[in-house]
Amino acid sequence: MRLVWLAALGVLAVVMAALTPYVFRTQSTAQTVGWCLMLVCTVAGVAVLTWAEFLLRELDRRTGSTGTETDDRRP
């Protein structure tokens, strides 16, 4: 489920990148700088969240495959 949110943020970053030429043509310099800052932060945030997601999955995989857990539900 967590990858769904990362995919949605990735789509947002792609849409923002696609709209950047329009923003450069039609907006003032201050608004263009703000747009570029938002775009960079969005891309960096997606990269950091993706990296954290893969680290968490690796941690789950390692702790789940140790074989040292005991099943206390035995009759």
What pLDDT digit, counting tens, does each position of 6-29 carry?
Answer: 788 889 889 999 999 999 999 999
Of all residues in the chain, the percent with pLDDT exceeding 90 is 36
Residue 51 lies in a domain: yes
Looking at the domain assignment, is residue 10 inside a domain? yes
Distance CA 54, CA 63 (A): 14
Place of tokens 């703000």: 34
Instruction: Tell me if 54 is assigned to some domain.
Output: yes
Work out how many domains the chain is built from and give that number: 1
In a domain, residue 25? The reply is yes
Residue 67 forms part of a structural domain: no
Residue 19 is assigned to a structural domain of this protein: yes
Angle subtended by helix axes 2-26 and 29-64, to nearest 10: 170
As a whole number, the mean pLDDT across the chain is 83
Residue 36 forms part of a structural domain: yes
45 found inside a domain: yes
| Residues 28-65 pLDDT 10s | 999 999 999 999 999 898 888 888 888 888 888 888 75
Instruction: Tell me if 11 sits within 8 A of 33, measured CB to CB.
Output: no
- Quote the domain boundaries for residue 47: 2-62
- Whole-model pTM over 0.75: no
From CA 26, how far away is CA 35, in angstroms rounded? 12
